[in-house]
Amino acid sequence: MTREKSYQAARGTQDILPEEQPYWRYIEGAASEVSRRYGYQRIDTPLFEDTALFSRSAGEYTDIVQKEMYTFDDRGGNSLTLKPEGTPAVCRAYLQHGMANLPQPVRLYYISPIFRYDRPQAGRYRQHYQFGAEAIGEGDPILDAEVIAMAWHFYKTLGLNDITLQLNSIGCRACRPGYLAALADYYAAYTARLCPDCRTRLEKNTLRLLDCKQPACQEIAQAAPRYADHLCPACDEHFTSLQKYLKLLGIPFQLNHRLVRGLDYYTRTVFEVQPREEGGQSTLGGGGRYDDLIEELGGKPTPAIGFAAGIERIILNLKKAGVSVPAPPAPRVFIACLGEAARDEGLRLAARLREAGVSAVAAAGNKSLKAQLRQANSLGTPFAVIIGEDEVKAGTAVLRDMAAATQESLPLGELPRRLAV
């Protein structure tokens, strides 16, 4: 006999069980509330898009495109990819629906699953969720400050206080080549000491040399030329204004010359929110400007900025910080029945209660009264209604207050009013 396969969720994915749901409701609530306060409207885009949208956006030599995309051909032979990040899809929607004709900037937010073929570990999954916001159509640094403030405000409302904001500018098309040349010059002296990935980066993706996690490479990065010293006047002014606005808002930040982010489309402002203890190893969220992306996707030159927060990482940190989240209320009443006629009555009563807005769970299966009340206890319902043969005959029911362990007999018709909240 062959053993039946026992199915497990695919590696790097997880079920969100009922006991975890309060965290999700709590975070989604905070995300939509902070979006409302900042005037961001919700957008949902499909789970998959043309592969080219993502490979063109993120950059050919980024980890996401090289190693992490879930790409497949559909039955029509089109190459599609499960969303490995939110921004390109929102930009595609902005262009497709003519949002450039709306007053700019257009402020949008999303909560979406994200798929990356990452190496699974704590806080790193192959399907995770992000809350993200994008402000498209304006280059003013005051908008950078707005998006950063919104991210900061979001983590703070959640109750995450032990966090830092890391900030850098990685310039624009005009000053990038000069900086990359300075960086390559500096690194040329260290080639032998670099990890194999960094040797490739030196050729293909110089900026990413700065955020390699290998200790030896980190040491070399420490003394590397800083972009802040190579910004063109316009980028320098932008960065200076942003810092002024953040100070004005009272948002503390740390300049971090090694912060470059993992995607090629970023320009000027980049930022990350990190837990104070673990730092960049377990970033809670981040974002930046992407002033050239919409144009690369076929639109007119359109500056934009956004950020994305990883929801699972937030939950890990909420638990670590001992933040308690509101639990959903238990159903108000459990209906226990003894005998077939009582079951009919119970079914009718449950329907009436629900119509009156009262949450009711009716017993199913043939269990003893004791077993039924045990179930009411484990559900945590504040009340139980008990209907037996005598009650059916009298048109009544027993209403039991579970906490006080007191009970009274009432006409069935009175129960919806008595149990209304």
In the bound state with ligand AMP, the residue whose beta carbon lies nearer, of 50 and 118, is 118
In the bound state with ligand AMP, the residue whose beta carbon lies nearer, of 123 and 416, is 123
Q: How far apart are CA 315 and CA 325, in angstroms?
A: 10
Half-sphere exposure of 162 (CA within 13 A, CB side): 13
Residue 417: enclosing H or E segment and its boundaries?
A: helix 415-419
Positions 57 through 96 that interact with ligand AMP (CB under 6 A): 85
Residue number of the CB closest to ligand AMP reads: 310
In the bound state with ligand AMP, the residue whose beta carbon lies nearer, of 123 and 339, is 123
Stretch that binds ligand AMP, among 161-169, 305-313, 332-340, 387-395 (CB under 6 A): 305-313
In the bound state with ligand AMP, the residue whose beta carbon lies nearer, of 85 and 345, is 85
Stretch that binds ligand AMP, among 41-49, 99-107, 284-292, 360-368 (CB under 6 A): 284-292
Q: How far is the CB of 394 from ligand AMP (least distance, A)?
A: 59
Amino acid 32 reads S
Residue 109: enclosing H or E segment and its boundaries?
A: strand 106-115
* Site of tokens 């003893």: 368
* Binding status of residue 134 toward ligand AMP by CB under 6 A: no
In the bound state with ligand AMP, the residue whose beta carbon lies nearer, of 285 and 331, is 285
In angstroms, the Cα distances linking 381 to 180, 245, 291, 351, 356 are 64, 51, 54, 17, 17
Other beta carbons within 10 angstroms of residue 79's beta carbon come to 12
Applying CB under 6 A, among 171, 286, 331, 346 the residue interacting with ligand AMP is 286
**Residue 18, preceding peptide bond in cis (omega within 30° of 0):** no
Positions 257 through 276 that interact with ligand AMP (CB under 6 A): 262
Q: How far is the CB of 284 from ligand AMP (least distance, A)?
A: 5
Q: How far is the CB of 12 from ligand AMP (least distance, A)?
A: 8
Stretch that binds ligand AMP, among 250-258, 279-287, 326-334, 402-410 (CB under 6 A): 279-287
In the bound state with ligand AMP, the residue whose beta carbon lies nearer, of 88 and 310, is 310
* Binding status of residue 312 toward ligand AMP by CB under 6 A: yes
Task: List alpha helices for 133-287, DSSP H.
Answer: 141-158, 176-188, 196-204, 215-222, 233-249
Number of residues that bind ligand AMP (CB under 6 A): 17
Q: How far is the CB of 272 from ligand AMP (least distance, A)?
A: 7
In the bound state with ligand AMP, the residue whose beta carbon lies nearer, of 128 and 238, is 128
Coil, strand or helix at 217: helix
Applying CB under 6 A, among 284, 294, 353, 373 the residue interacting with ligand AMP is 284
Other beta carbons within 10 angstroms of residue 239's beta carbon come to 22
In the bound state with ligand AMP, the residue whose beta carbon lies nearer, of 275 and 303, is 275
Burial of 47 (0-12, 13-18, 19+ CB in 10 A): middle
Q: How far apart are CA 353 and CA 356, in angstroms?
A: 5
Positions 105 through 124 that interact with ligand AMP (CB under 6 A): 116, 118, 123-124
Tokens of 278: 């673990």
* Binding status of residue 331 toward ligand AMP by CB under 6 A: no
In angstroms, the Cα distances linking 346 to 126, 352, 354, 378 are 46, 10, 12, 20
Sheet holding 396-401, edge to edge: 360-362, 333-337, 383-387, 396-401, 406-411
Q: Are 352 and 416 in contact (CB under 8 A)?
A: yes
Q: How far apart are CA 43 and CA 53, in angstroms?
A: 18
Q: How far is the CB of 56 from ligand AMP (least distance, A)?
A: 16
For 419, phi then psi, to 5°, come to -95, -5
In the bound state with ligand AMP, the residue whose beta carbon lies nearer, of 163 and 386, is 163
Applying CB under 6 A, among 308, 362, 373, 415 the residue interacting with ligand AMP is 308
In the bound state with ligand AMP, the residue whose beta carbon lies nearer, of 2 and 121, is 121
CA angle (52, 53, 57) in 5-degree steps: 105
Residues lying near ligand AMP in the complex (CB under 6 A): 85, 116, 118, 123-125, 128, 130, 262, 283-286, 308, 310, 312-313
